[in-house]
Chains A and B, each alone.
Chain A
């Protein structure tokens, strides 16, 4: 069975510092990986997906199949990055998502 693990419940960083959110997954096949974000009082929304290989709001994430990881990184955190971040995996043709437990990011000035 597939599983998504986000080991950090809370990450507190200073503005301008790098931030890295860890995500590890277990799945024997080739899953599709996503990062979703939920800002305060807003709905859950897609931040990025590994197949796009693009940078969104300065965030990047690389799929490492050897380490079964999909860590999210940003070199210089901004206050507006404060939010809840969820790593998610899709492993079937119907596209349903399996989520990790989330990491709360707090960026302090």
Chain B
């Protein structure tokens, strides 16, 4: 079974530039999560989708972050404009439903300079 796929794996951008990350969840998984992990900290949830609907985006900085999952499968997370403090690993995860195991991707490493 293929795991959660993410791209790009690494990205370096200057502050005020934009960046987009892509995630392809495990086939059939209705629930998709984006987490932000800053160095030395645990992952923090940014947004959760159930199919193509947003369940929770309470911790998403909506002035600069946006995410979509238009067809209920792939998802993109965008940051525009980026700030230095956005340097982190962005983890995508998916599960087949509430209470089921959450599977993580390898992450997209962002450095903002």
A residues in contact (CB < 8 Å) with B: 4, 6, 32, 43-46, 86, 88, 93-102
Contacts and interface: CB of A to CB of B under 8 A. Distances in A.
Contacts of B106: 43
B25 interface: no
A99 B101 contact: no
Q: Interface range on chain B: under 10, 10 to 19, 20 to 34, or 35 or more?
A: 20 to 34
24 contacts: A32-B99, A43-B4, A43-B105, A43-B106, A43-B107, A44-B43, A44-B104, A46-B102, A86-B42, A94-B55, A94-B98, A95-B31, A95-B97, A95-B100, A95-B102, A96-B33, A96-B48, A96-B56, A97-B43, A97-B45, A97-B102, A99-B42, A101-B42, A102-B41
A43 B99 contact: no
Interface string B80-113: 0000000000010001011111111111000000
Contacts, number: 51
B69 to A, nearest CB: 15
Contacts of A96: 33, 45, 48, 55-56
A4 B95 CA distance: 22
Contacts of B104: 43-45
Interface string B29-67: 001010000001111110010100001100000000000
B28 interface: no
Contacts of B42: 4, 6, 86, 88, 99-102
B39 to A, nearest CB: 11
Contacts of A99: 42-44
Nearest to A9: B40
